[in-house]
Amino acid sequence: MMQESGTEATSNGPANQNGGTSLESVPREGRPKSATPSVEVTAVDLLHVQQHQALQMARQILLQQQQQQQQSQQMQPNTGRKSPKINDKQQSLQVPVSVAMMTPQVITPQQMQQILQQQVLSPQQLQVLLQQQQALMLQQQLQEFYKKQQEQLHLQLLQQQQQQQQHAGSKQSKEQQVSAQQLAFQQQLLQVQQVQQQHLLNLQRQGLLTIQPGQTSLPLHSLTQGMIPAELQQLWKEVTNAHVKEEHNNSSSNNGHRGLDLSSPAPPKNPLLNQHVSTNGQYMSHKREGSTLEDHSPHGHPLYGHGVCKWPGCEAVFDDFQSFLKHLNNEHALDDRSTAQCRVQMQVVQQLELQLAKDKERLQAMMTHLHVKSTEPKATPQPLNLVSNVTLSKTAPEASSPLSLPQTPTTPTAPLTPLSQTHSVITANSLHSVGPMRRRYSDKYNMPISPDISQNKDFYMNTDVRPPFTYASLIRQAILESPEKQLTLNEIYNWFTRMFAYFRRNAATWKNAVRHNLSLHKCFVRVENVKGAVWTVDEIEFQKRRPQKISGSPALVKNIQTSLGYGSTLSAAFQASMAENTTPLYTTASTLNSLANAIREEMNGAMDHGNSNGSDSSPGRSPLPAMHHISVKEEPLDPDDHEGPLSLVTTANHSPDFDHHRDYDDDQGHDDML
C-alpha cells in the first residue's frame, strides 16, 4: 500500500519532468500575469494570457527566422511569394494587426502561413496555435460585437430619454417604436451573451480555456475594457452591417466562411471545417455530435439549426425555415463584410489544410523512415558499436570484428539520432515515449539492448529519461562494457550515473534496485575479492531468463543466431579475458562458468533458446536456495541435475574450498588489477 503510493510518486515524478522538458509542454503552464491588461482575472483574461503565451512563442520563432531571412536576402525588395506584405512582417510581428482585429495577439495570416510552411512548430504546437488563433478571433469579434451593442443600446436609451422628456405626451407610436427597438437590442444583447457563453464553454471543452464552472458567467465588463469605442463601432459596422442580396455565393462557398464566426460556439455548421480539425489532430470530438443535429432542420441548411441562424454573430431565432431564409437574404447578403469573413475563413481553412498536408507528409516520412530502418537495421548498429562491442558476447556474429578493439566505454560515441531505434517496429511504443517507464519492457526483453544503449548514449546521458531497459540489462551492459567484464558495486553505480541522466537522481531507490537485481538474478555472479567483490555476468543465465515470448519476433531469430555463433565468440571473450588477466583465478572461475555454459549452449544448439529448453532452464534456476553465500553462484548442488551441461559447469568450479581459499589468495594477487 505504502509502497505503491511511494512507487507511483517516484515513478511519476520523473515522468512528469520528462513531459515538461519535452514536447509535451504546451503553452498552458505557469505564465506571468503581467500579460493581462484587465484587473480582474476573468475567463477571458485567462484565455488571453494563454493565447498570448503561445503566440509569443510563435512570434519569437518567427522573428528569429525573419532575421535570418533578412540576413540572407538582405536588400531584396520583396521576393515574397504571395503578397507584397512580407516586408511588413517585421512590423506586424511585433505589433500584429490583422484587418479586423486589434489586439496584438492575433497572428496575421501571413505569419500563420509562415509558421505553417516553415514548420517551426511541432504539429501539436501548431494545433494549439491554430485553435487559439481561432478562439482569439472569435473572442475579439465577440468583444467588438458586444461593445457595439452596448453602445448602441446606450445611444438608444439616451435618445429615448430625450424624446420622452421633450415630448412628454407625444404620440404613442413613437414611444412604441423606441421601446421596440430597445427590446430588440436587449434581445440581441442576450443573444450575444449566449453566444459568448457558448463560446466559452466550447473553449473549455477544447481545453483552450480552463476555468472553474462558477466563473463561466460572462465577464462582460472586462470584454469592453480597453476597447476604443469609435474603432470598435467602425469595425463592427464593417463586420456586422451591410446587407445585400444574394447570400448564395456564401452558401455555395459555404464551407469557406465560418471559422471566425461568432456563432462558432453554436453547434457546428460547417462539417468541412470540423472534419479538417478532427482529421488533423486531437481536439475534436466535442462538436462532432452537434453537427449531426442540424440535419434536423428541414432543409439541412448549414446556416440554420435549432431555429437559429448560424451566420457568424447572428444567432437570430426563427420559427420557421422560411423566415430564416428571408433573414439570411436580408441580413447576410453579399457585401464587403461577408466577403471579408469568407476570405478570412478561407484562409483559416487553407491553413488547416496546409497543416494537415504537412502533418500527413511528416507522418509519411516518419513511417517510411521507420520502415526502412526496420528493414536494414544492421547499418546503424555497427558503426556505433564501439562501445557495445562487449555485447558481442551476446550478439556474437557481428561483434567478432570489434572484439579486437579494446573497448572504450567512456568515449561518447557519436550516435545517430537519439531516438532511432534498433528494434524499429512502428508501434507507438517503439518511439519510446519519454513518458511512462516500465510498460515498454516486454520488448526489450528479447532484444539486445546494447546497440540501443550505445546508439542513444548521448541521449540518455543528457536527458533525464528513464531508459527503457531493465535493471538487469543495464547492469549487464555495465559489466560487459568494463575492460574486464567485472565491476564492483560501486563501479556499477558509477556507470549508471555516468551513462544515464536519469540515474543521477533518487540514488537510494535505484541503487537499491541494482543491488536487488544483482542478488536476485542468477546471471550476475559475484566474485569475492579482498576489497570486497566484483560482479560478473553469466551470459548464459542472462539469456536463459527470458525466452518465452521470443516466438516470432525478429529478436528471436537474432537470439538464435547469436546462440549458434556463441561458442566461438565466447571462447574469444574468454581468451581475451585471459589475456588481460594474467593469472586471475577467480576470473578463471567465472569465465570458466561462461565457457562451460557456452559449451552447453552449443550442445543445446538452437533449440536451447527456444521453448523446448524451458523445462530445464526454469527449474534449474529456481530451486537453488542453499548456496547463496558462495562466491560463485553456480550452485553445485542443483537438485535437478538432469541437465548435463549444468552439471558440467558444476563440476568445473564447485569444490567448496575452491571458492574460499582461492578467493583469499586471488584477492591479494589481484589487487593490482583492481
Partner DNA sequence: CATGTCTTAAACAAAC
Partner DNA sequence: AGTTTGTTTAAGACAT
Q: Which residues lie near DNA (CB under 7 A)? A: 1-4, 6-11, 436-442, 445, 469-472, 488-490, 493, 506, 508-510, 512-513, 515-520, 526, 532-533, 535, 545-546, 548-549, 618, 625, 628-629
Q: Residue count of the chain, please give it.
A: 674
- Residue 534, strand partner residues: 527
Q: Closest approach of Cβ 555 to DNA, in Å?
A: 12
CA dihedral 287, 292, 293, 299 (to 10 degrees): 130
CB atoms within 10 A of CB 246: 11
Q: How many CB atoms lie within 10 A of CB 317?
A: 14
Q: Which is nearer to DNA, 116 or 513 (CB)?
A: 513
- Which of 597, 604, 579, 613 minimizes the C-alpha distance to 652? 597
Least distance from DNA to the Cβ atom of residue 435, Å: 11
Which residue's CB is nearer to DNA, number 186 or number 668? 668
CB 577 to DNA: min, Å? 19
- Paired with 526 in beta bridges are 535
Mention every residue, 6+ apart, whose C-beta is less than 8 A from residue 65: 114, 118, 120
Nearer to DNA, 147 or 394 (CB): 394
Which is nearer to DNA, 342 or 479 (by Cβ)?
Answer: 479
CB of 441 to DNA, least distance (A): 5
| 277: its cell numbers | 480539425
641 contacts: CB under 8 Å, gap ≥ 6: 647, 650
Q: Which is nearer to DNA, 77 or 625 (CB)?
A: 625
Q: Which is nearer to DNA, 304 or 445 (CB)?
A: 445
Q: How far is the CB of 654 from DNA (least distance, A)?
A: 17
**What count of other Cβ atoms lies within 10 Å of the Cβ of residue 292?**
11
Least spacing, CB of residue 95 vs DNA, in Å: 48
Per DSSP, the three-state class of 537 is strand
Distance CA 654, CA 647 (A): 10
**Residue 624 backbone class (left: φ over 0; alpha: ψ -120 to 50; beta: rest):** beta
- d(CA 26, CA 341) in angstroms, rounded, equals 29
**Could you tell me which of 525, 640, 497, 513 has the C-alpha nearest to residue 587?**
525
Pairing of strands 308-309, 304-305: antiparallel
Nearer to DNA by C-beta: 101 or 540?
540
Alpha carbon distance 274, 119 (integer Å): 22
Rounded Cα gap, residues 111 and 582, in angstroms: 70
CA distance 454 to 416: 10
Kindly tell me which of 311 and 510 has the beta carbon lying closer to DNA: 510
Q: Minimum distance between the CB of residue 488 and DNA, rounded to whole angstroms? A: 6
In 3-state terms, what secondary structure has residue 512? helix
- The number of angstroms, rounded, from the C-alpha of 404 to the middle of its chain's C-alpha atoms is 41
**Nearest distance from residue 547's CB to DNA, in Å?**
8
**Nearer of residues 28 and 515 to DNA, judged by Cβ:** 515
- Would you say 311 or 493 has its CB closer to DNA? 493
Q: Looking at beta carbons only, is 489 or 572 nearer to DNA?
A: 489
**Contact between 600 and 647 (Cβ < 8 Å):** no
CA angle 605, 607, 610 (to 5 degrees): 135
DSSP reduced 3-state for 28: coil
**Grid coordinates in use for 278?**
478532427
Smaller CB separation from DNA, 211 or 489: 489
- Nearest approach, Cβ of residue 495 and DNA (Å): 13
- How near is the Cβ of 599 to DNA at its closest, in Å? 23
Summary count for the chain: helices (H), strands (E): 28, 4
As measured in angstroms, the least distance from the Cβ of 34 to DNA is 39
Q: Cα separation of 380 and 370, whole Å?
A: 13
Is residue 419 helix, strand or coil? coil
Query: Shortest approach of DNA to residue 540 CB, angstroms?
Result: 15
In the structure grid, which three cell numbers stand for residue 175, read together?
414611444
Residue nearer to DNA on the CB measure, 111 or 517: 517
In the bound complex, what is the minimum distance in angstroms from residue 516's beta carbon to DNA? 4
